[in-house]
Amino acid sequence: MNFFRRLGKVVPILSILALLSIHTAPLQAAMVDNDQLLASSQQELTKTKILSELDKQEVQDKLVAAGVNIDDAKQRIQQMNQQELAQIQQEFEQMPAGSGIIGALLVVFVVLVVTDMLGATDVFGFVHNINH
């Protein structure tokens, strides 16, 4: 019986201490407008289009011949921001029909070289990081 009286005093104190030790992060809610939704979906469509080009055997052969690992290229495309994707999309739109593969390879190659120079990736051994 004495045990239950002590337990009746200790449990509320432990409960209060447990509640006080819980940290809650503030939440933020905001309206999402159509422009944000369209930009997000456009970015995913652009990534999908570029990745589908990389799945072609001819493109893969050219990239391997240039010393690019296909998996590294796909991973880098997944990590591209909106500006980089927009630049590649603009290059696709400006290319005449039939030159898309060579132009796409050139754009991917340039993006990979620039990201190697900035230290974001390490695809090419001959490109030196400018941050070191």
pLDDT value of residue 114: 79
pLDDT value of residue 101: 66
From first to last of its 132 residues, the chain has per-residue pLDDT tens of 677 777 777 888 888 877 777 766 676 667 767 777 677 777 787 788 777 777 878 778 877 887 778 888 888 878 877 777 777 767 766 765 555 566 677 777 778 877 877 777 777 777 777 776
pLDDT value of residue 1: 60
Q: Buried b vs exposed e over 85-124: b needs ≥16 C-beta within 10 Å? A: beebbebbeebeeeeeeebbbebbbebbeebbeeeebebb
pLDDT value of residue 36: 74
Q: Calculate the alpha carbon distances from 100 to 59, 83, 89 in Å.
A: 10, 20, 11
pLDDT value of residue 93: 66
Cα gap 56→114, rounded to integer Å: 24
pLDDT value of residue 71: 84
pLDDT value of residue 65: 81
Is the CB of residue 74 less than 8 Å from the CB of residue 31?
A: no
Q: Transcribe 3-38 into DSSP letters.
A: HHHHHHHHHHHHHHHHHHH---PPP------HHHHH
